[in-house]
């Protein structure tokens, strides 16, 4: 997967919480690089902040409003989201992430997916009963209604994570994060697990997971 340049650190002037037209224009070129990159299949790299910034309550509120406003361009919505994600306040970053899950902007939703997944220590998959469950389905759901996969290695730049290897994204225990979802493939030892999940909006991915040929509808919570 190609590497996409990180955004430049962005700062507000304490004496002027309103973003000037000049500052917005200066960052649009960098933002456009991320938009173009995320439009490619498989792209899911999250922004890397060169420096964390302090936002006042008024500044954070204005950015949150811009991020989901239908009257703001998609590019400026993304600009607002990335600004919030470089806040030095964890609560502001989390609120921005949850709010962005409601965005109609597919590029922002892709960033929500990538950030939320790569910050996890364990990927918890919640199983559901298929329309016509067999005895094996019911037995599995009764004993193990969830499947927990510890994330032992992650590479956001490449959009992958490993559930077994601690040094690389192993092809035998691989989670691949792409624009609007994640694929899971585990063939390590006698494990044979495959899953595919898609993110639309909100706080979860929906999809299916198969254990040795036994398929379940399932979901993964983002937050």
Q: What integer pLDDT is reported at residue 48 of this predicted model?
A: 65
CA distance 43 to 167: 22
- CB-facing half-sphere around the CA of 124: CA atoms within 13 A: 10
Residue 99 vs residues 32, 46, 77, 107, 217: alpha-carbon distances, Å: 22, 17, 12, 14, 26
| C-alpha–C-alpha distance, residues 18 and 34, integer Å | 24
Residue 194 contacts residue 185 (beta carbons within 8 Å)? yes
Mean pLDDT of 31-57: 58
103 pLDDT higher than 90 = no
Please give the Cα distance from 115 to 103 (Å, whole number).
15
User: What integer pLDDT is reported at residue 202 of this predicted model?
Assistant: 86
Q: What is the pLDDT of residue 179?
A: 86
Mean pLDDT of the 7-22 span: 38
pLDDT mean across residues, the chain: 82
Q: How far apart are CA 48 and CA 27, in angstroms?
A: 15
pLDDT tens digits along 136-187: 999 999 999 999 999 999 999 999 999 999 999 999 999 999 989 999 999 9
202 or 173: which leads in pLDDT = 173
Strand ranges in 2-159 using DSSP code E only, listed in sequence order: 122-127, 146-150, 153-155
User: How far apart (Å, rounded) are the C-alpha atoms in residues 105 and 21?
Assistant: 22
Tell whether the model's pLDDT for residue 43 goes beyond 60.
no
Q: Give the H/E segment covering residue 135.
A: helix 135-143
pLDDT at res. 49? 80
Cβ atoms of residues 87 and 53 within 8 Å: yes
């Amino acid at each position: 997967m190609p590497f996409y340049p990180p955004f430049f650190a962005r700062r507000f002037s304490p004496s002027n919480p309103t973003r000037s037209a000049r500052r917005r224009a200066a960052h649009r070129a960098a933002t456009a690089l991320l938009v173009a990159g995320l439009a490619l299949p498989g792209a899911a790299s999250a922004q890397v902040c060169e420096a964390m910034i302090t936002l006042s309550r008024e500044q954070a509120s204005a950015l949150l409003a811009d991020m989901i406003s239908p009257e703001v361009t998609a590019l400026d919505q993304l600009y607002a989201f990335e600004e919030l994600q470089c806040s030095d306040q964890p609560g502001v970053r989390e609120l921005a992430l949850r709010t962005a899950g409601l965005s109609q902007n597919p590029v922002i939703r892709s960033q929500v997916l990538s950030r939320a997944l790569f910050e996890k220590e364990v990927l918890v998959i919640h199983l559901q009963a298929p329309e016509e469950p067999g005895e094996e389905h019911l037995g599995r759901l009764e004993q193990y209604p969830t499947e927990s996969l510890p994330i032992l290695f992650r590479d956001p730049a490449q959009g992958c994570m490993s559930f077994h290897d601690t040094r690389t994204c192993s092809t035998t225990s691989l989670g691949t994060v792409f624009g609007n979802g994640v694929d899971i493939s585990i063939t390590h030892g006698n494990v044979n697990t495959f899953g595919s999940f898609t993110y639309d909006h909100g706080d979860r991915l929906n999809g299916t997971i198969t254990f040795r040929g036994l398929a379940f509808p399932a979901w993964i919570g983002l937050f």
